[in-house]
Structure formats: structure tokens, C-alpha cells
């Protein structure tokens, strides 16, 4: 299959690479020439704009950081919408259902079908092809791209309704964010009370409090103080804010998630939105006067 791929960042580069390695002809574009060169060196085809990608492939996938960038790439000047060959636009980003539906309508006017297929599983999952892929859109078009999406990760068909995949992704990501926030407070409290953080994680992971935060994020990135999960606090804040907006529109109470959103805002304000999501613990540590780090057992 000829596939266009736009956005070769932490996640996109791995997904594009996997498509090339699976034998697909992949036409790639990114604002960074070195990112294009890396995939071209593996057998990808370099393009000079989103439009050129859409001139060469019926299916164009994108993995981009924000809803506004997705909108611009999809429907702006020299965007995918101006391509001569494109028939399907597959959005692997997290934009929220409102933006997904907006792009769906704009592209439909040019006989291009938008499929929202956000992914979750982090940079490691993208590298291994184990991310969850949450696809929604017209069933026949989703089925046409399903084999390629299965190269990227574990495929789930969510609904024929545009935006449903985005809602599913937001529901997942707020749980991830809440897990990181709650684990941060729990670990800081334990350490300030004199507990060994490694023993704390061992106990929690053998008990009912375990989560991806306790099983992977904290032992791999917080205790060694590497803070290198590869997903920024700013991007997580964007996802949580999108969830808050959609939940309020539906009239759903979200007291817990609003508290998580407040901690993410504090993290971005004090440390910067480009900091790793695992650094969400730092504002709590600073106020408590302790650090959660690897220590000798006692």
C-alpha cells in the first residue's frame, strides 16, 4: 500500500519506520529535514509539503502535536486537502472529537474521508508496535486501512461516528494522567514519612494500588531521576483540557479530573510545558521538601 505519513516526532518516526519495514511505500514529510532524512534512509520517499504527500498517496496518516496543527496540515494552504490523489486522511494525533468532526466535514467537501485513529502506549509502544489504535469512521474506509494500522499497534474499531476514537483516547489519557498525579502525591507522602520508595513501589505493585505509573513510569523515570518517558507535560495538559471541555459539554461531573488538570497546569507554569510528564511530581516534592529517588534499602 502507498501511504503518506506526516509528522515524524517521537511517536510518528517509529510508526512510519514500522510501515516502511512492513513493506509499504511510505511518502513522508516533517518540518524538520533531518527527520525526513532518517526515514528516507530506511526506504521512505521524501516529500516537500503535505500537499505533495497527498499528491502521491491515497491514504495519508498524520501524527502531530496539537489540534490546530492537524487542522492546518489537513485543510490549510498547501495542505492535504489540496492533494490530487488522497482519498483517506488518518489522524493518529489527539485532537478531541470536536476538531475531528470539523476536519471530517471540511475534507468531505473534497471527497476525502477522515478517519480518527489516535494511539496510546507511549514512545516505547510506538517503537514496538504495541500501541492501542482507536479507529472511528466509515466502516469500509477503516477496513481499507486496517492492515496498515495493525502494523502500528493493536487495532480497535470504536464506531462509525467521527470523533468517537478521539473521545476514547481522552478517556484513556485522563486515567493515565490521574494515575501519575495520584502516585506522585502518594510517593511523596510515603517518602516524607520515612518509607523507602523502592519498597513502596514493590508493595503497591503487589497490591491493589498498582498502575502503569507504579509499574513503569516511577521505577524507570522517577526513582533514577531521568524523567525520560518521551511525552511532555504540555501535551498531557492538552489532552486533559480537551477531556474537561467535552465532559462539561456532556454535563458529566469531573471533580477528580479537574484536580489533575490543576496539577498539570501548575507543572507547566513552574517547570515548562516541554518537561516530561513524569516531572509532575516535582511541584509536590518542592512543597513537601523531599525528593522521591532511589535509596539504599533499610
pLDDT given at position 230: 87
Out of 114, 133, 161, pick the residue that ends a domain: 161
For helices 164-192 and 97-108, what crossing angle results, to 10°? 160
Residues 44, 150, single domain; the answer is yes
| Residue 169 annotated among the catalytic residues of the structure | yes
Query: How confident is the model over 183-212, as pLDDT tens digits?
Result: 999 999 999 999 999 999 999 999 999 999
* Residues 106 and 202 placed together within one structural domain of the fold: no
Residue 279 backbone class (left: φ over 0; alpha: ψ -120 to 50; beta: rest): alpha
Confidence of residue 99 (pLDDT cuts 50, 70, 90): very high
Active-site residue (options: 169, 217, 238, 282): 169
Give this prediction's pTM. 0.92
Q: What is the pLDDT of residues 210-241, one digit of tens each?
A: 999 999 999 999 999 999 998 999 999 999 99
Q: pLDDT at position 112, please?
A: 98
Phi, psi of 231 (to 5 degrees): -130, 125
Dihedral over Cα of 212, 216, 221, 223: its sign = positive
* Eight-state DSSP code of residue 222: I
Long-range contacts from 280-289, C-beta under 8 angstroms, 24+ separation: 280/180, 280/181, 280/184, 280/233, 281/184, 281/187, 281/188, 281/222, 284/184, 284/185, 284/188, 285/188, 288/188, 288/189, 288/192, 289/192
Quick one: pLDDT at residue 297?
54
Mean pLDDT over all residues of the chain?
A: 96
Q: Supply the pLDDT for residue 295.
A: 82
Three-class DSSP category at 159: strand
pLDDT recorded at residue 39 = 97
**How much of the chain is helix, strand and coil, in % rounded to 5?**
55, 15, 30
The CATH number of residue 233's host domain is 1.10.1040.10
Alpha-carbon gap, residue 85 to 58, rounded angstroms: 5
Query: According to the model, what pLDDT value does residue 296 have?
Result: 65
- CB proximity list for 109: less than 8 A, separation 6 or greater: none
Q: What is the mean pLDDT of residues 163-169?
A: 97
Q: 236: domain range?
A: 167-288
CA–CA gap between residue 130 and residue 123 (Å, rounded):
10
**Does 101 lie in the same domain as 231?**
no
* Domain termination site, one of 161, 195, 229: 161
The verdict on 101 and 173 lying in the same domain is: no
- CATH, residue 80: 3.40.50.720
Distance CA 217, CA 227 (A): 9
The answer to whether 265 and 221 have CB atoms below 8 angstroms apart is: no
Task: Give which of 182, 191, 171, 148 is closest to 254, Cα–Cα.
Answer: 171
Total count of domains within the chain: 2
Of 129-133, 140-144, 291-295, the least confident: 291-295
Residue ending a domain, choose from 161, 193, 213: 161
Quick one: pLDDT at residue 19? 98
Whether residue 298 is contained in a domain is answered as no
The three grid cell numbers given for residue 216, joined into one nine-digit string: 513503569
Alpha helices in 116-254 (DSSP H): 122-128, 139-152, 164-192, 197-205, 212, 233-250
Task: Calculate mean pLDDT across residues 159-181.
Answer: 97
**Average pLDDT over every residue of 267-271:** 98
Average pLDDT of the residues in 75-99: 97
Amino acid at each position: 500500500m502507498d501511504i503518506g505519513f506526516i509528522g515524524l516526532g517521537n511517536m510518528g518516526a517509529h510508526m512510519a519506520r514500522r510501515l516502511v519495514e512492513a513493506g509499504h511505500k511510505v511518502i513522508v514529510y516533517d518540518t524538520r529535514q533531518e527527520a525526513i532524512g532518517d526515514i528516507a534512509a530506511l526506504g521512505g520517499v521524501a516529500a516537500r509539503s503535505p500537499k505533495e504527500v497527498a499528491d502521491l498517496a491515497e491514504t495519508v496518516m498524520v501524527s502531530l502535536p496539537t489540534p490546530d496543527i492537524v487542522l492546518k496540515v489537513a485543510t490549510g494552504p498547501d495542505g492535504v486537502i489540496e492533494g490530487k490523489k488522497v482519498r483517506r486522511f488518518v489522524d493518529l494525533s489527539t485532537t478531541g472529537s470536536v476538531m475531528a468532526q470539523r476536519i471530517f466535514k471540511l475534507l468531505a467537501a473534497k471527497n476525502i474521508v477522515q478517519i480518527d485513529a489516535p494511539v496510546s502506549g507511549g514512545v516505547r509502544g510506538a517503537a514496538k508496535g504495541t500501541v492501542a489504535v482507536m479507529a472511528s469512521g466509515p466502516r469500509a474506509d477503516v477496513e481499507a486501512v486496517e492492515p496498515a494500522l495493525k502494523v502500528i499497534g493493536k487495532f480497535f474499531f470504536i464506531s462509525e461516528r467521527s470523533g468517537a476514537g478521539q473521545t476514547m483516547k481522552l478517556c484513556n489519557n485522563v486515567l493515565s494522567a490521574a494515575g501519575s498525579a495520584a502516585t506522585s502525591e502518594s510517593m511523596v507522602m510515603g517518602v516524607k514519612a520515612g518509607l523507602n520508595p523502592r519498597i513502596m513501589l514493590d508493595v503497591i505493585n503487589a497490591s491493589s494500588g498498582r498502575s502503569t505509573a507504579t509499574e513503569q513510569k516511577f521505577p524507570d523515570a522517577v526513582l533514577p531521576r531521568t524523567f525520560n518517558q518521551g511525552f511532555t507535560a504540555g501535551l498531557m495538559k492538552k489532552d486533559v483540557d480537551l477531556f474537561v471541555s467535552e465532559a462539561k459539554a456532556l454535563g458529566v461531573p469531573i471533580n477528580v479530573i479537574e484536580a489533575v488538570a490543576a496539577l498539570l497546569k501548575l507543572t507547566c507554569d513552574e517547570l515548562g510545558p516541554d518537561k516530561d510528564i513524569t516531572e509532575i511530581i516535582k511541584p509536590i516534592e518542592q512543597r513537601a521538601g523531599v525528593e522521591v529517588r532511589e535509596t539504599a534499602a533499610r
